[in-house]
Amino acid sequence: MASAHYEIISSQVSTVKNSRSSIIRRRISNTFTKQQKLFDISVFKNPRDDASSLKKMDIATELANKYATLLRGCDNVKHLAKGRILHQEIRKVGVETDKYLSNLLIQMYGKCGDIQEAYNVFSCMPNKNIFTWNLMIGAYVDNGRYKSALKIFQRMLSLSVIPDGVTLVSALTACTSLLSLAEGKWMHAYILRHGLASNTRVGTAVVNMYAKCGSLDEAHDSFDILTERDAILWNALIVAYAQHTKYREALQYLQDMQMEGFLPTVVTFASILDACASSAALHEGKHVHAYTVHGAKDVGVDTALVNMYARCGQIDVAEELFNNMPEHNLVSWSAMVAAYAQHGHSMKVLQVSRRMQHVGLIPNEVTMISILTACSHAGLIDEARYWFTSMIKDYGISPGEEHYNCMIDMLGRMGRLDLSEELLRSMPVGTSSLPWITFLGACKNHADIKRARYAAEKAMKLDPNNHSPYVQLSNIYCEAGMWQEAEEVRKLMEKRNVEQI
């Protein structure tokens, strides 16, 4: 296949009768030989049929098209190394000045997470079009660099480049993510001055910005002036009111949305139900449930209902809903596990977890916390150790601080300080002081002064300004009648300027 590429390029180069042709031939040959080894791609399916037409095309344009095809295939971080090699070859061949290719390079680097290299390409472009500016702003937004996105937007305006809808949506998204109401209001004023408020996508972004920043009146006013509305716009407004516990308004908009012929999406219902769950708004949650009864069954909505009823104290209703679901996925199983754990039904947590295993689903990090918490509350040391080991060996989940802390808390309460200490010593470097402070509390309860001193020293080393290990160790010494040691701990606090809150 590599030789086929070489034949195509050689046939192109042979049409150029000047001294530069041999140089280009060598560069192109090397380029596509390397690319073939790295990517195993073929730009043309039938080289011989296309050879005659290709001879008539400009070499630089043809090269740009080929590289464009390759660059489009580099769309995530896994392809970054390939994209960089392509960029190097583009430089060698001399088609880097092609605006279309430069735009694709910005897009590629943005999608692959190398935002600095995306900016390097952007800054070297002498003539930027609106698409170029949009790509750079979008790349910053997609990579969480919201302030940088707004700086590029301001620079664009200072150069009298007129933004389009795509630009404004990206810039508003940056304001929303920063919860920057002042920036968002300024941008909204700019949109109104330039008559861009009627654009549905821009209008939705404005509504969303005000909603996320907590300015519901402005969100409502911006919503009202839009003549064209879609489900996304309705969803933004409804979710905003629900998240700010304005349930009556959210439900009214939900009804209005349906009267205008728009069906609420899964996201709409799930978002409202999640808001109801967060504030234990059972009455409003039941109203939303009534809306969902006549719609098509969806595992996402059903899961949100399970979560809402469980967090509002209705574990029996949550259980019934879960058992009547036509299908389950990892999220729904995890929701039921968390529901039982929240209500202290440890044995049911383990039963559901086993059922989950039986159907071939692998628990995630959050589910494992619920399982370990259930084992801890029930005092099931062997069961907890089984799940903790399976998490690592069978499921490939690296334990986080919460997993370690849960295990250490359980082992400590059960008096297994030896196992708890062994687990602590196995923790990765960089863990916070919390697990050691938890262990210190267990040592206090079991009057193990030697281990308590060791745990306190570890916690102090990891977080010298945290008063908790100093206070706990001092109290342990006092309870043991070790007054001199207790005084030394208090002096150490003073020396290190640790404030007791």
C-alpha count within 13 angstroms, C-beta hemisphere, residue 226: 24
The alpha carbon dihedral of 361, 366, 372, 377 has a sign of negative
CA 86 distance to own-chain centroid = 28
Low-confidence ranges of the chain (pLDDT < 70): 1-77, 79, 93-98, 295-296, 429-430, 501
Q: How many helices (H) and strands (E) does the chain have?
A: 29, 0
The answer to whether position 49 is within a domain reads: yes
The answer to whether position 333 is within a domain reads: no
**Nearest CA among 21, 13, 36, 26 for reference residue 92:** 26
Under 8 Å between Cβ of 330 and 302: no
Q: Which two tokens stand for residue 385?
A: 């150790």
By the 10 Å C-beta count (0-12 exposed, 13-18 middle, 19+ buried), 159 is classed as: exposed
Using alpha carbons only, how large is the chain's radius of gyration in Å?
Answer: 31
Three-state secondary-structure class, residue 426 = coil
CA–CA gap between residue 389 and residue 395 (Å, rounded):
9
Q: Which two tokens stand for residue 392?
A: 């690592």
CA–CA gap between residue 307 and residue 338 (Å, rounded):
8
The answer to whether position 379 is within a domain reads: no
The full DSSP string for 377-393 is HHT-HHHHHHHHHHHHH
CA 457 distance to own-chain centroid = 36
pLDDT (tens digit per residue) in 329-342: 999 999 999 999 99
Q: Which two tokens stand for residue 333?
A: 């199983």
* List of long-range contacts for 477-482, beta carbons under 8 Å, 24+ apart: 477/449, 479/444, 479/447, 480/447, 480/449, 482/449
Q: Which two tokens stand for residue 151?
A: 């700086």
Under 8 Å between Cβ of 145 and 171: no
Non-local (6+) Cβ contacts of 269 within 8 A are 288, 291, 292, 301, 304
User: So what's the pLDDT on residue 109?
Assistant: 85
Domain count, the chain: 1
The alpha carbon dihedral of 457, 458, 459, 462 has a sign of positive
Three-class HEC string of 179-231: CCHHHHHHHHHHHHHCCCCCCHHHHHHHHHHHHHCCCHHHHHHHHHCCCCCCH
User: So what's the pLDDT on residue 498?
Assistant: 85
Q: Which two tokens stand for residue 415?
A: 């008096």
The answer to whether position 234 is within a domain reads: no
User: So what's the pLDDT on residue 369?
Assistant: 93
**Nearest CA among 134, 71, 145 for reference residue 108:** 71
CA–CA gap between residue 485 and residue 475 (Å, rounded):
10
Q: Which two tokens stand for residue 276?
A: 């109801």
Residues counted in the chain? 501
**Residue range(s) defining the domain that contains residue 37:** 1-127
User: So what's the pLDDT on residue 16?
Assistant: 34
Q: Which two tokens stand for residue 377?
A: 């509350």
78 DSSP assignment: G
- A 10 A CB-CB count for 33 gives 15
CA–CA gap between residue 115 and residue 128 (Å, rounded):
18
User: So what's the pLDDT on residue 231?
Assistant: 85
Global confidence as pTM:
0.64
- Name the H helices within 125-180: 130-142, 146-158, 165-178
CA–CA gap between residue 16 and residue 23 (Å, rounded):
11
45 DSSP assignment: S
Q: Which two tokens stand for residue 45?
A: 């399916």
The answer to whether position 27 is within a domain reads: yes
Question: For 28, phi and psi rounded to 5 degrees?
Answer: -65, -40
Under 8 Å between Cβ of 477 and 489: yes
C-alpha count within 13 angstroms, C-beta hemisphere, residue 247: 19
The answer to whether position 84 is within a domain reads: yes
User: So what's the pLDDT on residue 49?
Assistant: 44
Q: Which two tokens stand for residue 130?
A: 């609106």
The answer to whether position 90 is within a domain reads: yes
User: So what's the pLDDT on residue 215?
Assistant: 92
The full DSSP string for 270-336 is HHHHHHHHHTT-HHHHHHHHHHHHTS---HHHHHHHHHHHHHTT-HHHHHHHHHH-S---HHHHHHH
The answer to whether position 123 is within a domain reads: yes
CA–CA gap between residue 173 and residue 195 (Å, rounded):
19
